């Protein structure tokens, strides 16, 4: 028996070689170069994301709908002779402020409209406002009150409305002694930053995680050849599709439960509405994105492409869905795009239930849209799978 020296199995050259290193680098680049779809995604994703975020953040909070009830009357003080009618001056200033979109109406009806989400604030200029101001100027009264019934679930919008009111008061009277009385909508709830942020975070986390899990799960089946073996079986494409959906849904339900538990019980986010309706909304929203993941997976050939699809879908949703920037702050031509973004309706559902205490009566349109998305992406997934099978 010939015994070989162990040194024969050791690498001949242990010195670092820049040539070998560059060979591996060029090999990697060549592999990417041959994958045109991956190159397209790598080029498109950063451009699309930066373009959308850039357009979103260039806008200021504008055209926030508010209702104003001006009941103020002209008041004349005999000694010294002072005549004031400040109500029209305040309303004119608000009309000229681009941050708010003023409608006129009854204050009581405005309160109901704020509760229903038609306006963000209802402003009441009392009937004796000018009289109280004159008395304040003559020393007969200390403060003058102006009442604002306001939605506190959007801090940036709330600050914009109050800023417009204070500017109007300042231009009319210098705002001296004017007490802006805020009455908070939705049972007078004063929300913390956590309360306001958690509903949006829940919606975004569900989108991002479910897309990633769904896409990678199905694309991995392609890479490992599992799908090719299934094509030789009597399984129909719809059966195969539903099998994937059911399997991913079981994982999705666990993720949805964890997201809700951490958001509500661990971080203590407030839930004003029905908890069971919140769970149903999360499940429906999650199912829609499982179907979306299955649909998108038909266009991804490897895991890198699958991972590219997730941020291409989720990140623009952050800018356009109202998570980082209120939709009213977007450029006017970009706002309609927000209404085809699923995150918009997810945020509406979670904020409506958690912060405003709304039920199905107020949120039926958002539930309908999300259910329609479930149906749309399911149909698209079936069609793309079938067309692929005919090739």
* Distance of alpha carbon 242 from alpha carbon 291, whole angstroms: 10
Q: Where residue 333 falls among pLDDT bands split at 50, 70, 90?
A: confident
Length of the chain: 391
Give the pLDDT band (50/70/90) at residue 69.
very high
DSSP letters for 166-226 = HHHHHHHHTTTTEEEEEEEHHHH----HHHHHHHHHHHHHHHHHHHHHHHHHHHHHHHHTH
Q: Express each pLDDT in 107-145 by its tens digit.
A: 999 999 999 889 999 999 998 888 888 777 776 666 788
Supply the DSSP string of 22-59, one letter for each residue: HHHHHHHHHHHHH-HHHHHHHHHHHHHHHHHHHHHHT-
Range with the largest mean pLDDT of 177-186, 220-229, 259-268, 312-321: 177-186
pLDDT higher at 20 or 4: 20
Asked whether residue 287 carries a pLDDT value surpassing 60, the answer given is yes
pLDDT of residue 4: 54
pLDDT at 58 over 70: no
pLDDT at 259 (0 to 100): 80
Domains and CATH numbers, the chain: 64-188 (3.40.1710.10), 193-390 (no CATH)
The percentage of the chain sitting over the pLDDT mark of 90, rounded to a whole number, equals 20
Q: Do 267 and 194 contact (CB within 8 A), yes or no?
A: yes
Residue with tokens 């997201």: 259
Is pLDDT above 60 for 67?
A: yes
Give 232-251 pLDDT, tens digit per residue.
666 666 666 777 777 777 77
| pTM of the predicted protein model | 0.76
> For 178-205, what is the mean pLDDT?
82
Strands (E), the chain: 64-70, 75-77, 82-84, 100-104, 121-125, 144-150, 178-184
Q: What is the pLDDT of residue 380?
A: 86
**How far apart, in Å, are the Cα atoms of 385 and each of 215, 286, 298?**
14, 21, 7
Residue 6 clears pLDDT 90, i.e. is over it: no
Average pLDDT over residues 2-9: 54
Q: For residue range 248-261, list pLDDT tens digits in order.
A: 777 778 878 888 88
């Amino acid at each position: 028996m010939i015994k070989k020296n162990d040194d024969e199995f050791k690498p001949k050259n242990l010195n670092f070689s820049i040539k070998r290193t560059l060979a591996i680098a060029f090999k990697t680049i060549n592999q990417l170069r041959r994958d045109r779809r991956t190159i397209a995604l790598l080029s498109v994703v950063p451009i699309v994301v930066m373009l959308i975020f850039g357009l979103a953040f260039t806008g200021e909070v504008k055209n926030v709908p508010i209702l104003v009830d001006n009941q103020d009357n002209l008041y004349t003080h005999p000694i010294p002779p002072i005549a004031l009618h400040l109500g029209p001056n305040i309303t004119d200033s608000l009309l000229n402020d681009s941050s708010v979109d003023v409608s006129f109406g009854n204050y009581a009806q405005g309160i109901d409209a704020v509760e229903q989400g038609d306006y963000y604030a209802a402003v009441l200029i009392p009937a004796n406002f000018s009289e109280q101001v004159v008395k304040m100027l003559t020393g007969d009264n200390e403060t003058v009150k102006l009442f604002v019934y306001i939605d506190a679930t959007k801090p940036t919008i709330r600050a914009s409305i109050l800023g417009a009111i204070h500017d109007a008061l300042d231009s009319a009277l210098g705002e001296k002694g004017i007490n802006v009385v805020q009455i908070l909508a939705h049972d007078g709830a004063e929300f913390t930053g956590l309360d306001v942020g958690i509903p949006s975070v829940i919606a975004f986390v569900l989108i991002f995680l479910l897309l990633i899990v769904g896409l990678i799960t199905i694309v991995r089946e392609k890479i490992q050849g599992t799908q090719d073996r299934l094509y030789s079986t009597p399984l129909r494409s719809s059966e195969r599709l539903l099998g994937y959906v059911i399997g991913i849904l079981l994982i999705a339900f666990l993720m949805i439960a964890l997201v809700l538990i951490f958001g509500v019980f661990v971080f203590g986010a407030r839930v004003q509405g029905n908890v069971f309706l919140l769970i149903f909304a999360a499940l429906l929203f999650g199912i829609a994105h499982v179907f979306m993941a299955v649909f998108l997976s038909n266009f991804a050939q490897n895991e890198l492409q699958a991972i590219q699809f997730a941020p291409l879908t989720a990140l623009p949703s952050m800018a356009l869905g109202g998570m980082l920037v209120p939709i009213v702050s977007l450029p006017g031509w970009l706002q309609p795009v927000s209404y085809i973004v699923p995150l918009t309706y997810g945020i509406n559902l979670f904020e409506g239930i958690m912060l405003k205490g709304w039920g199905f009566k107020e949120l039926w349109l958002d539930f309908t849209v999300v259910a329609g998305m479930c149906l749309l992406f399911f149909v698209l997934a079936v069609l793309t799978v079938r067309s692929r099978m005919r090739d």
